[in-house]
Amino acid sequence: MINSNYLTNLNEKQQEAVLHLDGPLLIVAGAGSGKTKVLTSRIAHIIRSHKAFSNQILAVTFTNKASKEMQTRVSRLLKKEATGLPWLGTFHSTSAKILRKHADAVGLKSNFTIIDTDDQARLIKNICKGENIDIKKISPKYILAVIDKWKNKGFYPDDVILKKKETLEKNFLNIYKIYQQKLIDLNSSDFSDLILHTVKIFKNYNDISLLYSKKFKYILVDEYQDTNFIQSEWLKSLSATNMNICCVGDDDQSIYSWRGAEIKNFLEFDKNYQNTKIIRLEKNYRSTQNILNVASRLIENNQNRVGKTLYTNQESGELVTLDCFRSVKDEAIDVCSTIENFRKKKNSLNEIAILVRAIFQTREFEERLLKVGIPYRIIGGIKFYERSEIKDCIAYLRCIHQQMDDLSFERIINVPKRSIGDTTIKTISEFAKNNNFSLEIASKKLIELNKIKPKTKIGLNSIINLLEKWRYDLKKKISHIKLLQMVLDESGYSQMLKNNKDLENENRLENIKELLNAMKEFDNLESFLEHVALATSLDQDWESEKVNLMTLHASKGLEFNIVYLPGWEEGLFPHQKSIEEKGENGLEEERRLAYVGITRAKKIAKISFAMNRFYQGDWIDSMASRFVDELPDEFLKKSNNFDNKEENEFEFNQDIDFEEEVRSPGWLRYQKKLK
């Protein structure tokens, strides 16, 4: 039986969620209710009570960081009995693992390449050129978004049914067909394919589906409210035999419909899985009661929710402040002024966050923070593996690993400069296409046929010879770390960076050194490349204390002692576009986003709005968000921050033409209400 520590550290509902092991279970976990603790305790309990071995447990998260944290916590609970969880990972990493074993079922080889978003965009761009589609008018990223939407719904090209009005999508569908075939030809998969292909295998091959559904005696899913249709189908297949699926999440924090997430999966869980038990975790360990009261009363205005009421044993705490400002500048000045006061009272800047609805809102705060000398970081910057120099290194390694990787070959063919211009690359591409060759083989053939200019021929020969040499070196069993060092030296890449004596290139060299350090954690080149493809973690400098600036979307899963929520103005929050595109569903998601923002705060939450905002090139009169009207007065401390100011203190851009008044969507809505 589970030792007493397991249960004594859990409240009654958490205990119930850990001990209920038979049949489908939906855990409705409110913000700060200890869902990770419950999940890890549940895994440990399954293992310790001998219900299943560690390799019979499938645990799915949305990020690698969450997976690592879960593994650490489980090991800590099991102590001497600690064991690895081979099937703990993200939807994508787990699917990649399954797909590599059965790749031939979807026309791939087991060593297929997982391409990232940049490679996808370049592939789409090339297809558009071949189909005479002007990419200046239609963005490849937009095309990819449509394709990704189809894949999230489980549609291959032949499954897509278009409506008569969807004339633009007809062109996209043709591109989708070519794109999918090209991926197969390149022995590649994009991220969405990892799950799509796996589900296809499960549906077409009952023996494979049965193999895995029998294997996993217990399935646990974190952040279930963020799953899309194809992920839901994936889970149904894997849980079909044992039906011991436990999904944890919070429907009130479902804010990613723009990424394909379907709240319906959560709301209809008991319809999809018969005899479902639902357990609500309502005790909050993060926030004060006043913060919880404000958040709960706001989210009660949503109709599509399972329903719960958060409470805490903590003190009531400070009232949530609601501030009105004359302008966004005044709002930023006041926020930064109070941050400075918190700083003087020995509050850590790391525990302060400014959460905005749209990323453009950060500018005003950045300028003010810089002016008063308060350090800050923007959460959601460029990821480590998305930096240009890192992508170059990875492209070299992918070319060595797989000769058919045209996208990687195209990236490094002239980096560093080898006198290989766009015209030559186009010639190689057309020859490759016409003869069904990879770009590298096509390059060799064109050299043999003497179709390449002498100067260009030297550069092209050099990269081909180097790639062949490095493959030979790899076969001699040199380490993947040594391999990259050789690539950097022999290609001239390191020298290229060293020759340009500026800070940016110094940083690039340091990034490459860090890449070499990262590679030490992997046994071989293949495992490292797979990790790179699936990596989702941000590379951030957490050395010094800084105020955190981020969007509300980026704040999910985080917590801070002090949280600022500026810009609660109609048209901005809720965002007009969201309401126009999705109607009531869009409004409810915006309200969930507000709920997420408020519940990030542990001790202090400050909501504010401005009556005047410079937006999309115009000054607009703003009106407080409708969400402000939904906040409970008894838990608020309201203040008007411009009544006592002189008229001449108000600053505005004198260059703007005010011949015609510009009114916000919120102002217009308010006028309609008056009529």
* Nearest by Cα to 263 from 301, 297, 232: 232
pLDDT of residue 136 exceeding 60: yes
Q: What is the pLDDT of residue 78?
A: 86
Report percent pLDDT > 90 for the chain.
56
Q: How confident is the model at residue 642 (pLDDT cuts 50, 70, 90)?
A: low
What residues have CB less than 8 Å from 278, skipping those under 6 apart?
Answer: 25, 26, 28, 270, 306
Q: What is the phi-psi region of residue 34: left when phi exceeds 0, alpha when psi lies from -120 to 50, beta otherwise?
A: left
Of residues 259 and 526, more confidently modeled: 526
Q: What is the pLDDT of residue 670?
A: 44
Q: What is the mean pLDDT of residues 427-447?
A: 89
Q: What is the pLDDT of residue 165?
A: 65
Give one DSSP letter per residue of 115-174, joined into a string: --HHHHHHHHHHHHHHTT--TTTS-HHHHHHHHHHHHHTT--GGG----TT-HHHHHHHH
pLDDT of residue 525 exceeding 60: yes
Question: pLDDT tens across 472-522, in order?
Answer: 988 888 899 899 999 999 999 988 887 655 546 666 776 787 688 678 878
Q: How many C-beta atoms surround the C-beta of residue 521 within 10 A?
A: 9
Cα three-residue angle 365-505-381, rounded to 5 degrees: 30
* Nearest by Cα to 571 from 663, 467, 671: 663
Question: What tokens does 150 get?
Answer: 């189809």
Question: pLDDT tens across 275-311, in order?
Answer: 999 999 999 999 999 999 999 999 999 999 998 989 9
Give the integer Cα–Cα distance in Å for 216 and 566. 46
Question: pLDDT tens across 354-372, in order?
Answer: 999 987 788 778 768 877 8
Q: What is the mean pLDDT of residues 537-546?
A: 56
Give the integer Cα–Cα distance in Å for 40 and 69. 9
By annotation, the residues acting in catalysis are: 35-36, 222-223, 253, 600
Q: What is the mean pLDDT of residues 78-91?
A: 87
- Under DSSP, is residue 202 helix (H, G, I), strand (E, B) or coil? helix
The single residue listed with the structure tokens 């006041």 is: 334
What residues have CB less than 8 Å from 544, skipping those under 6 apart?
Answer: 375
What is the H or E stretch that residue 342 is in? helix 328-344
Q: Mean pLDDT of all residues in the chain?
A: 86
- Alpha carbon 82 to chain centroid distance? 30
* Nearest by Cα to 336 from 312, 367, 294, 310: 367
Question: pLDDT tens across 311-346, in order?
Answer: 999 889 999 999 999 888 899 999 999 999 999 999
pTM above the 0.75 mark? no
Strands 277-281 and 320-325: unpaired
* Nearest by Cα to 223 from 551, 555, 556: 556
Give the integer Cα–Cα distance in Å for 371 and 583. 40
Contact, 147 vs 176, CB < 8 A? yes
Q: How confident is the model at residue 384 (pLDDT cuts 50, 70, 90)?
A: low
Report percent pLDDT > 70 for the chain.
87
Question: Which of 73-82, 397-406, 578-587 is predicted least confidently?
Answer: 73-82
Give the integer Cα–Cα distance in Å for 329 and 11. 46
Of residues 603 and 260, more confidently modeled: 603
Question: How far is residue 360 from each of residues 332, 363, 567, 619, 622, measured CA to CA in Å?
Answer: 13, 6, 11, 15, 17
Contact, 419 vs 455, CB < 8 A? yes
pLDDT of residue 599 exceeding 90: yes
Q: Tell how many helices (H) and how many strands (E) occur in the chain.
A: 29, 17
* Nearest by Cα to 196 from 64, 122, 96: 96
Q: How confident is the model at residue 535 (pLDDT cuts 50, 70, 90)?
A: low
Give the integer Cα–Cα distance in Å for 434 and 428. 10
Q: How confident is the model at residue 647 (pLDDT cuts 50, 70, 90)?
A: very low
Q: What is the pLDDT of residue 675?
A: 47
Q: How many C-beta atoms surround the C-beta of residue 637 within 10 A?
A: 12
Give the integer Cα–Cα distance in Å for 64 and 521. 15
* Residue 563: Cβ-neighbour burial (10 angstroms; 0-12, 13-18, 19+): buried
